[in-house]
Structure 1
Amino acid sequence: MSRGPFSDAMRAGADATWDSDWESAIAAYRRAVRLSPQDTDALSALGLAYYNAGQFAAALETYRQASALAPENVVLLERIADTHGQLGQRDAAIEAHMSAAELHARNPQTLARAVEQWQAALKVDPNHVQARVQLLQYYQRIGKAHQAATECLHLARIYQGRGETRRATEIYRYALRLAPDHPELQRSAQSIDPEARTASAPAEGAFAKGGGSAVQPRASDFVQAAIIEAEDERNSLIESTRRHALAALAASVFEDTLELAPVAGDPQVIRSKIDALIGQAVDVQTRGNPEQALAAFAAVYEAGLRSPALCFSLGVLYQEQGRLDEAIAMLEQALGASEYELGGHLALGCCHQAKGDIARAVQHLLAALKGIDLTTVEGGRVEQLSLLYDNLVHSYSVGGQPDHAPEFAASMVQFISKSGWQERATHARRRLDEVAQDGPPMTLADLLAPPGTEETLALLELIQSHIARDLLYTALEECYIVIGRMPTYLPIHRQLAQVLLRMGKREEVSAKLAAVGDTYHVRGQLYQAAEMYRSALTLMPVDTAVRSKLIDVLTDGGHVDDALEHCMLLAENHYGLAQLDLACATYERALRLTAKTDSDRRWQVRILHEIGDLDLQRVDWRHAVDVYQRIRDLAPEDERARLALVDLHYRLGRPDQAMVELDGLLASHRQNKGAGHPFAALEELVQKHEDDMPLRMRVAQAYLDAGQTQQALAHLDRLGDLLLDSGRYDDARVTVRAIVALNPPNVAEYRQLLEQLGQ
């Protein structure tokens, strides 16, 4: 009896895995995943097969899918960590190891596995502070003082190597309380702190397993607070940029040329002085004396150095001393170098924020946020996000959202300034891409704009987890709860649209997207508004109200050609709904818009033709004549307009006027010899007006001009008959002579006719 296709595929995969036939295993497990896309066992097995086949990128993607469905599955996190390691993605590997360790640490039965993961993270980066702290705490809890002290030794050396002597000294002293007889610890501690050997030992029995916490020193009481504080400071955007600037300044001593201001004196003497001052300044900064460092760097600046590295270093020191105007002047000079753009804009934003100049603060903070956000996307999305940020900066610069600008500035500072900003940005980008997968992208600024904060990410994650498990009504309920608390927070409205779309409610989704577009429009964010309206129209193309709003936004944003295209579509929508008056009014609206475009003549001709067609359908011939005459004046070569005028004049009983227009059309063709002749249209006219002799004469002449003698003879022959029937013998003789001159095969008959007419 068959177990079913899914079970068969899983069994085939297991058999292939047993035989180490990874290609067959991959094929089998892929069949299983297609049959049950949310089965974590199938995904995990497929990921393992990819891994063993050396297809690490595919393995990583598969493991991620499985982990998204089972976030508490620690084995998947361990495999993700190993796969990142195989791909050389060190930071991601460490993050996965730490996440796996965190899950293991929750269960006392798996603490040993947590230790393995912390140690695995340290194999990737021996200087990973948090992993060292976790091991330190673990060894203290189980009473292993020597191992705990060893972790303190590693931590102290990390900070000592970074030049943070004070932090290192605190950790050495604390470690000596844990293990005063640790020989390597004593030597290292005394190298920077001669008093370290006087540190008191812990109370007897303090590290006995299961001992009371009242006498046991705890890392969280003393060391961890210092470590976390230092780590946040050190890994903040400004501090990491400052370290880069210090390294650049130290390396500049060995460069051939420096960026110097014009200074009188011997260049070699000046260079030697600057090199000496740079060495002193870097040394003082490394030893952690901000006052002396500020004086030293200022001396370098006074000596003539103008490098971005120096300006950034000075700017941050001035900022820390509260000398904000001087800080701003220096930081603005540093912005010319790309490596100081992010840190420079953040520091400038903080300076302007401290001065109360929120408008400038927001501009600089948005520039920093933009730079960070653009690193989280690739390809064409970079340009699209860049446009979104430019539009946002413009909306704030013209005062579009002054009320919540202070809150917005504070939210951006909070998000960017802390350590881990890169990881937070990447994580937030994943959440935002889930929200905006069926519409225009969202920016980190959308996430942080009031009333949102970084914490709102958790709300989006919760809702997205419901969607991933197909709990759509639960997700819908969560969206409405959040909207009730934060009705103006746009990401949650976008998320609601996603839920509704998954539920097949296209009309409701379109309405929601249009409402978001309305909010963007009110805020002055025209690009975002236009993109939301476009997304709404993708779902409901005949929504005339939304398309009219899109036209307004495009017009306000100066995108007149695009607005005109949508005017044409809107008029077509009205026409399709048999709303001819509204269609005509829309074309008239478009006609007024043409004054704002460089290609106004082309647009006017196109629009007037549409208006003329509507007039013909409404049998408003006189107005149609006015419209086509406007086209003729704008584009004398426009054949369609000339022919329409000929036909209209006939309908209005104006054959002479019809011939005037026809003469103009034929003259235009004679002047433009490369253009084709409108013979099909002329024949159609002749069929409608068979007995019109002036028309026949002109058609015959047109054929003659084109060298088409046979067609000309046919019309001349008919013209002759018409002239004879009307008794116009003189004109008939002229016509017959013209036929004879063409020498048709039956020319003798025409000569005989001429004789009968008396020549």
Structure 2
Amino acid sequence: MSGNKQIYQEAMKKAQRCTKTENWSGAAKIYRTALGEFPNDVEAMNGLAHMYMRLNQYETSIRIFQRVLRNDPSNIEVISQMGEALEKTDRPSEAIKAYLRAGSLYTKSGNTDEAVKIFEKVIVLDSEQVLAHNSLAQIYVRQGKTEEAVSELVRLAIIYQERGDDDKSGQQIRGASQLAPGDRRVKAAFKAWDNGVSIAASQMNIAHLSVIEEEINPAEEEGLNDLWDELTASALEDDYGNPREETVQVALGELANILFEDDEGNYGETSMNKFQIGTLVSQALDMQTQGQNDESIAVLNQIIDSGYKRPAISFVVANLHISQKHYDESEPFLTLCLQDERYAVGAHFALGEIFQAKGEPELALQHFVNVLRVIDLKNTTNENADELMQLYDSLVSRYIKESDSKETMSFVQSLINFLSSQDCERKIAEARDRLGGSVTALVEFFEVPKSEIVLSSMYETGTLLKRNMFVTATEKCFIAIQEIPAYLPLHMRLAEIYMAQDNIEDCIGKYMVVAKVYNIRGNLTQSISIYQKVLEISPMDFTVRKNLIDLHLRQGGVDSALNQFKILAEGYYQSAQVERSIQKYKSALKHTDKSTEPRKWRREILHRLGDIYNQRIEWESAIIVYEELVQDFPKDDKALLNLSELYFKLGNSTHGINTLNQLITLYIKQNNKKGALEILQQQAEMMPQEIALQEKLGLFYEEMGMKKEAIAQYDILGELQLDAGLPDDAALTIQRIIDIKPGDVSSYKVLLDQIMGGIY
């Protein structure tokens, strides 16, 4: 069907102008006008699809892109955009197919720079996508970028080796060797392949690239290695015990000084004096030295039974029970010690040992993680304390939900080994520093099996990032991620590198993947934190904001969720998606009762809903909202005023004037007569034909003693009443003027007689 070419051309020009001013919804509407003339026009369909992308309506964009491709199957830009839309709708396999097609077409057309960008998007979605790595390698060879080409070939060799295809793995290495025979990465990869060992591991073991050797101080490397050696030191050193054993020594030292302390009443009311307690403590310690543990426990219990509740005594008793494997008897004494910061670490460690011995790994894990928590909190700022608590809680929950007993016990044993190593408190502080001060990175550090890679990779990539050495930092991240893919802070570091390069798409893509994994792991705090990072970069990403709302609600953060509801609703409103805006405000209303300030939120949301309905001239809906507001908040002057105006607009003067009376009464009670007068004047000016309103203003002038103004207002009112065919009402109004005693009272009396005589 042939349409009107002039209408089409004019619509296309208007759509382009709307696009320049970022009026996406307006442009979309105009593109539809153009398609009304020529339904299969590729340029108009493409423009419309792009507008829907801007409006985050990706499914609609995909349908339009499919129509375009039926008419123009080799349209590279459309195929690329379709890949992006598919990625946004969580369809990675379909997105990869689209991106691969677009990358191939860009390569054939000679636009290799765009092809590289497309193939890199594929690798973000699937790091083992062979075709993408192979295509990148070929492009880099043609561009003379040997280092990048070698990197891709080595990655391909790793992928094929891990798939068990040694022949293809060898082909990639030989290809890399031809390009850069002296490259240390290639040599290390060839040696590993030839010996049948992990090529990926070889890339971690090779010497630093020359650029890193020049930039990183050898002393810093040595310090890093020393730290790892300390972190993995054996827990069985002769001169050091675990936290329980160390705490026992603290308790014994404290008890040895009882006779020299002034602690009257500090440990409860006791029937013994200080000398009696000191004597019994000495007896108990002597018995313990002689191996008479049961007798020592009995003597110490005498002190406790007297009312003397000292944690040091409870801890010693608990330790004696543990030494005899009387685990159930020791637990109550250790529980008493948890409240004392001097004994909390030792008590948690001892309880962890007890539950480990009893074959209850989940309870053991909780207490060993609490040891880490207490130690780590000493070195944490107050602003990070809540985050740290939530992360450690999440760590425990994840093992309880997702791991079997064997896996949990293995992690418990690794914690015992670390906590039993010498100077572990200092090691935790230093590890945090090496990991960039990240609370998350430190907590997750304790979980990974290859912790040495974590320390070195996080430290090196952080250093390279600070020095703007992005290519090398990216390479280091990729290699480390291949070794320890479950360590999410490394993925976060990669996102930071992308961001530093202004590679926004890849940065957001990486953040989104990490956020989903944290969500699956039950670490809602970290998911929320990452979504907030994404929204700082892309504040109009409605999907992310909806995800953030869901997480806040799941975590019980209703106030935070309501704030995000508000931002989301306003985002929809600004992008001309008013119905969605209204829906989100209504959804938010359902959660206000559970917030910390329910009335504040309810009032704010209802006001915004009423305002939107008012602007859309949906006055009946607006009245329902404002009636609800006035019922809940009878002193809300703004709600009363808006409701009064709406009643007048719909011709319901009685309700309008009654509501206005409520407002005036409110102002008078607040001793704000000036405000009441201003409101009446404004309303009378806005609605000059409203008789009831004009009468109200006249009466208020009269009550205020403003005779001149009252007379003028009654003159206006009388004329309105006569014009409306209400002579009796007009007569009463003129009588009011006469009662005020104006200067020309005789003329008003004549007028009154004429009205009464039926002349008017």
1:695 aligned to 671, 687, 693, which one? 693
Do the aligned partners of residues 371 and 676 (structure 1) sit closer, same or farther apart at CA in structure 2, a change above 3 Å counting?
A: farther
CA distance in 2, matches of 1:502, 1:250: 59
Which residue of 2 is the match for residue 376 of structure 1?
379
CA distance in 1, matches of 2:357, 2:326: 11
Which residue of 1 is the match for residue 328 of structure 2?
325
Q: Deviations over 1:526-565 (max 9, x none)?
A: 3333333323322222222222222222222222222212
CA distance in 1, matches of 2:214, 2:634: 66
CA distance in 2, matches of 1:629, 1:227: 71
Q: CA RMSD in A?
A: 4.1
Give the deviation of 1:369 after TM superposition. 0.8
Once the two structures are superposed, the pairs formed by residues 113-512 of structure 1 within 5 Å of their partners are 229-231=237-239, 233-234=240-241, 236-255=242-261, 271=277, 273-281=279-287, 292=291, 294=293, 297-305=296-304, 307-389=310-392, 395=397, 399=401, 405-434=408-437, 436=438, 441-442=439-440, 444-450=442-448, 453=451, 456-512=454-510
Which residue of 2 is the match for residue 108 of structure 1?
none
Question: Does the 8 Å contact 2:697/2:713 carry over to 1?
Answer: yes
Q: Deviations over 1:41-96 (max 9, x none)?
A: xxxxxxxxxxxxxxxxxxxxxxxxxx99653259x99xxxxxxxxxxxxxxxxx99
Do the aligned partners of residues 397 and 473 (structure 1) sit closer, same or farther apart at CA in structure 2, a change above 3 Å counting?
A: closer
CA distance in 1, matches of 2:393, 2:236: 36
Q: Deviations over 1:654-701 (max 9, x none)?
A: 444434433444444455544763555544443443223222112222
Do the aligned partners of residues 637 and 256 (structure 1) sit closer, same or farther apart at CA in structure 2, a change above 3 Å counting?
A: closer
Give the deviation of 1:230 after TM superposition. 1.5
Question: Does the 8 Å contact 2:258/2:278 carry over to 1?
Answer: no
Question: Does the 8 Å contact 1:645/1:661 carry over to 2?
Answer: yes
Are residue 565 (structure 1) and residue 563 (structure 2) matched?
Answer: yes
CA distance in 2, matches of 1:753, 1:261: 96
Q: Deviations over 1:577-620 (max 9, x none)?
A: 11111111101101111232364343323222222222233333
Do the aligned partners of residues 600 and 244 (structure 1) sit closer, same or farther apart at CA in structure 2, a change above 3 Å counting?
A: closer
Once the two structures are superposed, the pairs formed by residues 24-43 of structure 1 within 5 Å of their partners are none
Are residue 71 (structure 1) and residue 217 (structure 2) matched?
Answer: yes
Give the deviation of 1:382 after TM superposition. 3.6
Question: Does the 8 Å contact 2:644/2:655 carry over to 1?
Answer: yes
CA distance in 2, matches of 1:316, 1:351: 11
Range with greater deviation from structure 2 (668-677 or 255-264):
255-264
CA distance in 1, matches of 2:684, 2:214: 74
Give the deviation of 1:261 after TM superposition. 10
Question: Does the 8 Å contact 1:277/1:296 carry over to 2?
Answer: no
Which residue of 2 is the match for residue 120 of structure 1?
none
Amino acid at match of 1:630: E
Question: Does the 8 Å contact 1:587/1:611 carry over to 2?
Answer: yes
Q: Give the TM-score taking structure 2 as reference length.
A: 0.62
Give the deviation of 1:503 after TM superposition. 2.0
CA distance in 2, matches of 1:729, 1:701: 19
Are residue 528 (structure 1) and residue 534 (structure 2) matched?
Answer: no
Q: Which has the larger radius of gyration?
A: 1
CA distance in 1, matches of 2:578, 2:430: 51
CA distance in 1, matches of 2:721, 2:644: 23
Amino acid at match of 2:300: Y
Give SS of 1:633's match.
Answer: helix
Once the two structures are superposed, the pairs formed by residues 634-653 of structure 1 within 5 Å of their partners are 634-653=632-651
CA distance in 1, matches of 2:218, 2:419: 29
Give the deviation of 1:576 after TM superposition. 1.3
Amino acid at match of 1:518: K
Give the deviation of 1:713 after TM superposition. 3.4
CA distance in 2, matches of 1:424, 1:489: 20
Q: Which runs of 5+ in 2 are unaligned?
A: 1-212
Amino acid at match of 1:298: I
Question: Does the 8 Å contact 2:255/2:281 carry over to 1?
Answer: no
Question: Does the 8 Å contact 1:385/1:443 carry over to 2?
Answer: no
Question: Does the 8 Å contact 2:235/2:418 carry over to 1?
Answer: no
Q: Deviations over 1:464-509 (max 9, x none)?
A: 2332443222222222333334333222222223222322234543
Identical pairs, percent? 28
Question: Does the 8 Å contact 2:235/2:421 carry over to 1?
Answer: no
Q: Which runs of 5+ in 1 are unaligned?
A: 1-66, 78-94, 104-129, 131-224, 285-291
Are residue 677 (structure 1) and residue 683 (structure 2) matched?
Answer: no
Give the deviation of 1:424 after TM superposition. 1.2
Question: Does the 8 Å contact 1:736/1:754 carry over to 2?
Answer: yes
Which residue of 2 is the match for residue 604 of structure 1?
602
Amino acid at match of 1:246: L
CA distance in 2, matches of 1:709, 1:519: 75
Give SS of 1:691's match.
Answer: coil
Amino acid at match of 2:247: T
Amino acid at match of 1:566: Q
Amino acid at match of 1:583: S
Q: Give the TM-score taking structure 1 as reference length.
A: 0.62
Do the aligned partners of residues 494 and 721 (structure 1) sit closer, same or farther apart at CA in structure 2, a change above 3 Å counting?
A: same
CA distance in 2, matches of 1:711, 1:655: 23
Amino acid at match of 2:303: G
Which residue of 1 is the match for residue 538 of structure 2?
540
Question: Does the 8 Å contact 2:243/2:346 carry over to 1?
Answer: yes
Give SS of 2:303's match.
Answer: coil
CA distance in 1, matches of 2:753, 2:709: 25
Question: Does the 8 Å contact 2:259/2:275 carry over to 1?
Answer: no
Do the aligned partners of residues 396 and 675 (structure 1) sit closer, same or farther apart at CA in structure 2, a change above 3 Å counting?
A: farther
Do the aligned partners of residues 311 and 724 (structure 1) sit closer, same or farther apart at CA in structure 2, a change above 3 Å counting?
A: closer
CA distance in 2, matches of 1:452, 1:717: 92
Do the aligned partners of residues 378 and 627 (structure 1) sit closer, same or farther apart at CA in structure 2, a change above 3 Å counting?
A: closer
Are residue 552 (structure 1) and residue 577 (structure 2) matched?
Answer: no
Do the aligned partners of residues 362 and 279 (structure 1) sit closer, same or farther apart at CA in structure 2, a change above 3 Å counting?
A: closer
Are residue 735 (structure 1) and residue 733 (structure 2) matched?
Answer: yes
Give the deviation of 1:425 after TM superposition. 0.6
Which residue of 2 is the match for residue 632 of structure 1?
630
Amino acid at match of 2:442: L
CA distance in 1, matches of 2:235, 2:625: 79
Which residue of 1 is the match for residue 198 of structure 2?
none
CA distance in 1, matches of 2:322, 2:704: 84
CA distance in 2, matches of 1:227, 1:512: 38
Give the deviation of 1:248 after TM superposition. 1.4
Amino acid at match of 2:544: V
Amino acid at match of 2:218: E
The aligned length equals 538
CA distance in 2, matches of 1:741, 1:402: 94
